Structure 1
Amino acid sequence: MTTTPPEPKAVLHRYLRSAREALLWKVEGLSEREARMPRTPTGTNLLGLVKHAATVEIGYFGDVFGRPWPRPQDAPWLAAADDPDADADALQAEFFATADESVEQIVGLYRRVWEFADVTVDELPLDAPGHVWWWREGQQDVTLHQILVHVTTELHRHAGHADILREEADGAVGMRPGNDNLAGGFDYAAYAATLRGIAEHFPEEAR
């Protein structure tokens, strides 16, 4: 018995949705403090990743296809991206939540962005042309197919960042609710100690 292969757009859309859900799940259950706490020297933080993801989807599934985000008041930091005179601090605003932006607000915004982006995906064919004005010359003309792959790849990369940040925050791990993707009965503390011991056999190199 042969089965009909899934339609390519449906496959791409499913992987996009999976990346979105994985990213939001990593913020669930955290306090305002923990969700926005920077956990790398460059300031990477969980809520900032969600805010950035919302910004990414607004741009790629909106502006690129001539479908502007209809509620600019929900994302005022977007104006900096269009302002050639914007300073570095203004351009960084998509990577962190201000004291006036709550977890609930940012998560709610991202869910509304999903609905906005999904309309673009549902209504346009995979070969629909788009234009990414902020990419380098010669690479700016794209299709919906290319953008679906690009955005899904970026979101899964950020979901990987979020995996590490959440484990740093409270030890929570997993691919999705109900699936921690860890071997049952395995002593991870001992495993980490073994790896640390192996690494410490090697001298630190001068930087």
Structure 2
Amino acid sequence: MIDDFAKEYLHGDLREIRETMLWKLDGLGEYDIRRPLTSTGTNLLGLVKHLSVWESRYFGEVFGRPFPEPLPRWDDTGARGRDLWASEHETREEITERYRRVWEHSDATITELALDAPGHVPWWPRPDVLLFNVLVHMLTETSRHAGHADILREQLDGATGVAAGYPNTQRDAAFWAARRAEVERAAKAAAGR
């Protein structure tokens, strides 16, 4: 009983946060979804691409249910990090549609297997896992990247919000300028103590 509840609860949260990841791209042009916004090159479309590669791996090959499309090898050191950005030849549509196909494949794995179904993650120090471990890991990982996407999107155009369909529209630019000034004042005061 609790297994069914836990699986549906975690799976429901994963579904919601996936949608949030795609929502963060809405209304932005090609340059803005691709451009590096941190010193390490983090960008919105790259986060979506990264999640599609790793979710397909975790709910695919880990459980002997490989995703039916080609993936880079996880142990190819020469290709490391290439999943975190999109080349000029990769389209937004290709990346977002692949992510949606990954969802379908992952959802089938989650639905068809029990929470205690065994899997094997060769790149983990303790490689023998259960579906429960992987479901929690992917929910955590996707939420972590959604937090990155929140900050990147705010840097681009000031848009904030925590979930698809729930943008933060209650505050205007003047409110946020005043809030930022208040936070800056507190930081300087604390540094001067």
Question: Could you say if the C-alpha distance between residues 161 and 120 of structure 1 is closer, same or farther in structure 2, counting changes exceeding 3 Å?
Answer: same
Q: Would the aligned equivalents of 2:3 and 2:115 in 1 still touch at CA under 8 Å?
A: no
RMSD of aligned Cα (Å): 2.2
Please give the TM-score of this superposition, normalised by the length of structure 2: 0.90
* Residue 175 of structure 2 corresponds to residue 187 of structure 1: yes
Supply the distance in 1 between the matched residues of 2:6 and 2:22 (Cα, whole angstroms): 25
Supply the distance in 1 between the matched residues of 2:54 and 2:98 (Cα, whole angstroms): 13
Provide the aligned length of Structure 1 versus Structure 2: 190
Secondary structure of the corresponding residue to residue 7 of structure 1 = helix
> Which deviates more from structure 2 when the two are superposed, residues 173-182 or residues 47-56?
173-182
Once the 2 structures are TM-superposed, how far is the Cα of residue 28 of structure 1 from its aligned partner?
1.4
Show CA shifts across 1:136-194 (max 9, x none): 1xx11100011101110110010000000001011111112442346557822101111
What residue number does 1:148 align with?
135
Supply the distance in 2 between the matched residues of 1:115 and 1:6 (Cα, whole angstroms): 19
What residue number does 2:151 align with?
164
> Which deviates more from structure 2 when the two are superposed, residues 176-185 or residues 20-29?
176-185
> Which deviates more from structure 2 when the two are superposed, residues 93-102 or residues 171-180?
171-180
Listed as ranges, the gaps of 5+ residues in structure 1 are: none
What residue number does 1:200 align with?
188
Once the 2 structures are TM-superposed, how far is the Cα of residue 12 of structure 1 from its aligned partner?
1.1
Please give the TM-score of this superposition, normalised by the length of structure 1: 0.85
* Residue 128 of structure 2 corresponds to residue 115 of structure 1: no
Q: Would the aligned equivalents of 2:32 and 2:156 in 1 still touch at CA under 8 Å?
A: yes
What residue number does 2:56 align with?
58
Listed as ranges, the gaps of 5+ residues in structure 2 are: none
Percentage of pairs with the same residue: 49
Supply the distance in 2 between the matched residues of 1:44 and 1:27 (Cα, whole angstroms): 14
